[in-house]
Chains A and B, each alone.
Chain A
């Protein structure tokens, strides 16, 4: 069996998460190869949609296989260097992050960033990255609060529930093609299903079905409520409503053995075949740059 996997030119993501059709195929073919070394051949590629590129980077960096990338064009090679495809942008101090991201204000993307979930500077990191995204997108001031809210809640979720070591964030503004900000947030933790199992909460409802676990999380059933009140579990559900109903955007979440997609066409949960499992959780947000005139973020924070 050849140890070469040809990487397709995934330059679009028609309905959010559709890029995973190609991603799952790449994972499956890579894992099927007996050799510890796998060649990813990029000879057919010219551009990647961020929702394909982000999981590709994550998978490559965490795979047990030794993955070697070959036949990248000069443009792709340069782009991969700028987004830290092979090694991810890591930082210790916020000043370091700010200095390294400032040149990206003139671009449409930020590098693929990795951050330590135990660090106390996660809020500062978000502020720096969000400032860059807002400049890149040239969006109006109305985007600031919903963007702060969604980033804040989803990254806080990672810290609180993933039990992972690192979080990841990647973003690209496709102002002309989609008029959207595409953001990917991920972790390397125990997955949504894993967090319910660890907390021993709602296991009778979940019944070992990871898609059910994802549904519970997205409907706001938390593992960490206070005994006397349902005070938690609002992060994902309110962020998703704000994005999909309020901003007319799209939401996708892949965690362990299941994924969820919610857009204007509806809401689906999918349990993956047993042999497919994603390490941790990855969330994709497609955020329209133009905020609807009657949008009021508070309406979506309430429940």
Chain B
């Protein structure tokens, strides 16, 4: 059954998968054969669905971007996140004049 589309971005799409498999007892295959792009956010939801339904949800035909995104998410779930520190400053302005003076330096 075709469920979503070839370009899948929103997390909400995962709810359609959850609703479809909710009352199903057997093994479900999520077939990504025609999918050309998935967002990292959607991949994160798919990973959660697979985890929640351990032996009952299988992923099939993951290639290209789909495969890469799922791999990235799987890796990030099993390793502690390391953030790159930005060397950034926080400026605070209490009036429009000082803000304008700062913006004039852009």
For window 108-127 of chain A, which residues contact chain B by CB distance below 8 Å? 120, 122-124, 126-127
Interface size class of B (residues with CB under 8 A): 35 or more
Which residues of A are found within 8 Å of B95, using beta-carbon distances? 273
Q: Which residue of A lies closest to B6 (CB)?
A: A127
Give the total of A residues in contact with B, Cβ under 8 Å.
58
For window 1-19 of chain B, which residues contact chain A by CB distance below 8 Å? 5, 7-13
* Contact A268 B93, beta carbon cutoff 8 Å: no
**A153-B40, A153-B41, A229-B77 given; A269·B90 CB < 8 A:** yes
* Contact B88 A148, beta carbon cutoff 8 Å: no
* Contact B37 A148, beta carbon cutoff 8 Å: yes
A233 and B42 alpha carbons, distance in the complex (Å): 13
Which residues of A are found within 8 Å of B106, using beta-carbon distances? 14-15, 17-18, 21
A156 and B90 alpha carbons, distance in the complex (Å): 27
* Contact A20 B41, beta carbon cutoff 8 Å: no
Which residues of A are found within 8 Å of B86, using beta-carbon distances? 218-219, 262, 267
Which residues of B are found within 8 Å of A226, using beta-carbon distances? 48
For window 126-177 of chain A, which residues contact chain B by CB distance below 8 Å? 126-127, 145, 148-149, 151-153, 155-156, 159-160
* Contact A25 B100, beta carbon cutoff 8 Å: yes
* Contact B39 A149, beta carbon cutoff 8 Å: yes
**A220-B81, A268-B89 given; A232·B44 CB < 8 A:** yes
Which residues of B are found within 8 Å of A17, using beta-carbon distances? 106
For window 79-98 of chain B, which residues contact chain A by CB distance below 8 Å? 80-84, 86-96, 98
Interchain residue pairs A-B with the least CB separation, the first 9: A152-B9, A267-B88, A21-B103, A18-B106, A152-B39, A271-B92, A15-B106, A269-B90, A267-B86
Interface residues of B (CB under 8 A from A): 5, 7-13, 37, 39-42, 44, 47-48, 65, 68-69, 72-73, 75-77, 80-84, 86-96, 98-100, 102-104, 106
